[in-house]
Structure 1
Amino acid sequence: MSVEYKDDQEDWLTVCLKYLLFVFNFLFWVGGAAVLGVGVWTLVEKSDYLSLLASSTFAVSAYILILAGSLVVVTGFLGCCAVIREQRSCLSTYFFCLLFIFLIELVAGVLAYVYYQKLSEELKQHLNQTMTENYAQPGKEAITLAVDRLQQDFKCCGSNNSHDWVASVYISSKQAENRVVPDSCCKTITPVCGRRDHPSNIYKVEGGCITKLEQFLADHLLVIGAVGIGVACLQSI
């Protein structure tokens, strides 16, 4: 009788352990989906702006999160199979993958926070130079598109203000056709509307595009850092 009771107790513990692992696996999947979603969102949402950054750290952090999220999907499936089949070798591989994913997410989060601290200085040093030297130049179509979209999306003109365009290679060339700012500075874009820099015609934003872009990227970096480190810590519990 005691042997049967002991067997029943072991069966009950096994069933409980399976359910606990399934619950953990589900939470693990949810965390992975969040990580993957944030990574994709970061690259898709205003991805044109990446060409304006001197460093690739922002994009690398997002790619790392996408990698980690994708691994979670595969690892979660492996965990389910290991629990159902009760294969110890699969469980060992599963927990090794958990550790690996934890490290990847942690790295992405730390990179995001480190870059967050350097973002303002990088933009101050490079954004104006990138805009004035590369806008509408041969082979710089990606930067031209990014600048146009930046100025239209954030309703700004120039890195610090519209006067930054005076030193632009584009504005100094015949290609500008007497424009004083690119047409993307205009509140309503029409052919050669950039010839007038009156506040009624172009965007005059305090702090210029650099302030708007810095805030946008900072918000994304905070989300990347919080999700990367937060999910990694939850998965390590």
Structure 2
Amino acid sequence: MGKYQRILLKISGEALMGDLGYGIDPNVTTEIAKEIREAVKSGVEVAIVVGGGNIFRGVAASTKGMDRSTADHMGMLATMINSLAMQDALEKIGVFTRVLSAIEMKEISEPYIRRRAVRHLEKGRVVIFGAGTGNPYFSTDTAAALRANEINAEVIFKATSVDGVYDCDPRTNPCAVRFESLSHMEMLTRELKVMDSTAASLCMDNKIPLVVFSLKTPGNIYRAITGEKIGTYIEG
């Protein structure tokens, strides 16, 4: 598979909770930051999209009666909190980082401008994309697929709580079978819930490969970014 030059790492908001049940565990962000630092040292350009589910889930709130657009904008603000937490963890260990927000928040981040994002990456800075796409009705998975296309990333890495893609939920079914590889179309037609259909279609249409792996295994982010075969590889 070889080492990549420019990648996009999608981290779920839930992953940042650790064992806390809510919010952000600084020990988790520090460990993630250390692995990203090693990848940057090896010459890989790293962009990140972080979810917001550890703080607020717009879709969940909308099912309980909240206006969907309002709920999604609240979720975008949650992703900004997580983006700032990741920026802090990275900069504390010497990794130059920029947060670019799809919603203008000039006091705490730069506005998202594609050319600016690419230039930061070229200079060796880690770029964190906050506030999703800036639009309601789109998930942070879709934001990851969109930004990966815009910056010409070679691959999207989706760090999750399980070690790949299974034919059913391995947390509830001990007989679940893990896939070594899949096509984008199989991911969609099997409804495997790796990411929502909008994000999956965007990856398929633009031929962006996707690697799904566990964040819980120490060193996995660095292994994935530097090209080691782990998790489930999705392409084609």
Q: TM class, shorter-chain normalised?
A: under 0.3
Q: TM-score, normalised by structure 1?
A: 0.23
CA radius of gyration, larger in: 1
Greater share of strand:
2
Q: TM-score, normalised by structure 2?
A: 0.23
